[in-house]
Amino acid sequence: MAHTLDSVEMDKIVSLCKRRGFIFQSSEIYGGLASTYDYGPLGIELKRNIRDAWWHRFIQDRDDMVGLESAILMHPQVWVASGHTGTFSDPLVECKTCHHRFRADHIDSKACPDCGGEITEARNFNLMLKTFLGPVEDTASQVYLRPETAQGIFVNFQNVVTATRKRPPFGIGQIGKSFRNEITTGNFTFRTREFEQMEIEFFVKPGTDEEWHQKWIEDFMQWFIDLGVREEKLRLRPHAKEELSHYSKATSDIEYSFAWGWGELMGIANRTDFDLKAHAEHSGVRLDYFDDEIEEPEQKHYVPYVVEPALGVDRALLVLLFDAYDEEALEGGDTRVVLHFHPSVAPIKVAVLPLSRNERLVPKAREVYDLVRSRFVTQYDDAQSIGRRYRRQDEIGTPLAVTVDFQTLDEDNAVTIRDRDTMEQIRVPIAELVNTLEQKLKR
Ligand code: ATP
């Protein structure tokens, strides 16, 4: 679908999200809590659709993948082994005048971006959020809220292999909340301190890791395109050597072109055998794979290499919103705001609308609504003019609207289906409605 708008400003997205119930500021009635957000009725449908699409594509639809849901709280030694206690930090600088804090690598000059004041030397600031387990708040009871879901997968490697008999190449995926005490947040939900991740740790035989890294990059690029994201808005950015995380041999980010520039959508890293080896060393438990099909005895045991495609659910949702948003000039000087969501992620699939709130039309429309609702997430709306109601559905990205009119009652027992993107309408007998909707939503 060709867009009219090439790029959209953040304030339009923020205001649409609040107005229509996608995303709200958290604790708003108390003045809000900095960079934390709540998903409203439409936002949560969209979010669930993204999670489901990911889960289906990368877990259920592949025979080399299994799922997991590990706890947010983990043994503190996990973070010592993974390197997070020692190195999961960002360089923090502070303005000596206004005391605002910034990430040193996020600002260009030696002066404070807010007031121009002098800034301090950078010091490392650990990004893990701490809490306490049990009634005593001392260092012995201190635990962390996980900063990534990945470690829950690594520490369960042996459990999953034993339980499932999977052999490399195979992967474990999970979706869940992560927390980072980010120094600079901002750009709405782009960088927050509480967020949700969808991560895969894919275990392969050393030597095949680079090939698998490439495959995963291609699989994810294709997935975003299949979800309707415009190809020209996506790019791949390999990390320079000095930018690589402590565990990584190579990382490439998939980036999206936002109104403010290119921003990371996800990272795909070659984590080598760093994590499994580190956990084996710290726990004393062997975390290798025994391959009895390998002939050479000394090669039968090996520690798999890991390719990790890591994506934020909130980040994906923001990209889908930005990419779907469009404004079209209509005849008569009106503007139509439309979200061109792919049907698979659209929060509402079908709207059922009687032509007016007429006592004869409403019961028939309700009957059609019941029919459609049993198959698709559907909204019924009979308030205000039909034109206004089409606009409301366009603005939340509903792909199809079904209208019940007097011809339905008096002549043909048929309804019209209006397409969100083309605004074209076709007439379909009610008996064929569900099948036709299904065909149209399958693209
Ligand atoms: P950065 O260097 O920008 O702080 P990162 O490269 O360390 O982030 P990863 O650890 O690779 O990020 O995280 C994987 C994915 O999780 C990111 O690509 C993003 O989609 C999501 N993500 C990470 N941090 C945040 C955050 N603070 N808010 C929202 N999503 C996040």
**What is the distance between the alpha carbons of residues 118 and 131, in angstroms, rounded to a whole number?**
34
Side chain identity at residue 175, one-letter code: I
> Is the pLDDT score of 224 beyond 80?
yes
pLDDT single digits (tens) 369-397: 999 999 999 999 999 999 999 999 999 99
In this predicted model, which residue has the larger pLDDT, 86 or 72? 72
Among 80-94, 172-186, 225-239, 295-309, whose mean pLDDT is lowest?
A: 80-94
CATH 3.40.50.800 domain locations along the chain:
348-441
* Cα-to-centroid distance, 90 and ligand 1 (Å): 13
What lines the ligand 1 site, CB under 6 Å?
148, 180, 182, 191-192, 195, 197, 264, 266-267, 310-312, 314-315
* Cα-to-centroid distance, 255 and ligand 1 (Å): 12
Q: Determine contact, residues 74/97, Cβ cutoff 8 Å.
A: no
Side chain identity at residue 91, one-letter code: P
In this predicted model, which residue has the larger pLDDT, 98 or 69? 69
If you take atom 23 of ligand 1, which residue's CA is the nearest one? 312
* Cα-to-centroid distance, 30 and ligand 1 (Å): 28
CATH number of 348-441: 3.40.50.800
**What is the distance between the alpha carbons of residues 327 and 274, in angstroms, rounded to a whole number?**
48
CATH 3.30.930.10 domain locations along the chain:
10-77+145-321
If you take atom 18 of ligand 1, which residue's CA is the nearest one? 266
Q: Residue 331: its pLDDT value, please?
A: 87
Q: Determine contact, residues 369/354, Cβ cutoff 8 Å.
A: no
DSSP H or E stretch at residue 249: none
> Is the pLDDT score of 413 beyond 90?
yes
If you take atom 16 of ligand 1, which residue's CA is the nearest one? 312
* Cα-to-centroid distance, 311 and ligand 1 (Å): 7
pTM: 0.93
| Residue 73 per-residue DSSP state | B
Sheet holding 89-94, edge to edge: 101-103, 89-94, 123-126
- Give the DSSP letter string of 132-184: E-SS--SGGGEEEE-S-SHHHHHTTHHHHHHHH---SSEEEEEEEEEE---SS
Q: What fold does the segment set 10-77+145-321 form as a domain? A: BirA Bifunctional Protein; domain 2 (3.30.930)
Q: Residue 272: its pLDDT value, please?
A: 97
Q: Residue 1: its pLDDT value, please?
A: 58
Q: Which of 90, 106, 151, 191 to mutate to test the pocket of ligand 1 (most atoms within 8 A of CB)?
A: 191
Q: Residue 336: its pLDDT value, please?
A: 95
* Cα-to-centroid distance, 340 and ligand 1 (Å): 26
Q: Tell me the pLDDT of the chain averaged across its residues.
A: 95
pLDDT confidence tier of residue 94, bands split at 50, 70 and 90: confident
Mean pLDDT to the nearest integer, 275-292: 96
pLDDT confidence tier of residue 91, bands split at 50, 70 and 90: confident
Tokens of 417: 């289906």
Beta bridge partners of 182: none
If you take atom 3 of ligand 1, which residue's CA is the nearest one? 264
